[in-house]
Amino acid sequence: MKKIVMFLVGAALVIFGVTSMAQDYEHEVTSGDMSFAWKIDGDTLHGKMSAPTKGWVAVGFNPSKAMKDANFILGYVKGDKVTVVDHHGIRNNAHASDEKEGGTEDVTVVGGSEEGGTTTIEFTFPLKSGDALDGELVPDGDTMLLMAYGSDRDSFRVRHTYNAEMTVNLATGATK
Q: Does residue 175 sit within a domain? A: no
What is the percentage of the chain residues whose pLDDT exceeds 90? 80
Q: Does residue 120 sit within a domain? A: yes
Mean pLDDT of 120-127: 98
Q: Does residue 53 sit within a domain? A: yes
CATH of the domain at 118: 2.60.40.1210
Across 42-100, where does the E strand assignment appear? Answer: 44-51, 57-61, 71-78, 81-91, 94-97
For the chain, how many structural domains are there in total? 1
The answer to whether 57 touches 80, Cβ cutoff 8 Å, is: no
The residue ranking higher by pLDDT, 22 or 147, is 147
Q: How far apart are CA 88 and CA 12, in angstroms?
A: 34
Mean pLDDT of 100-114: 96
Q: Does residue 174 sit within a domain? A: no
pLDDT at position 156 is 73
Q: Does residue 176 sit within a domain? A: no
The answer to whether 47 touches 139, Cβ cutoff 8 Å, is: no
Asked if the model's pLDDT at residue 111 lies above 70, the reply is yes
Asked if the model's pLDDT at residue 11 lies above 70, the reply is no
Three-state DSSP class for residue 122: strand
Q: Does residue 95 sit within a domain? A: yes
The answer to whether 125 touches 60, Cβ cutoff 8 Å, is: no
Range(s) of the domain holding residue 149: 2-169
Asked if the model's pLDDT at residue 2 lies above 70, the reply is no
pTM: 0.84
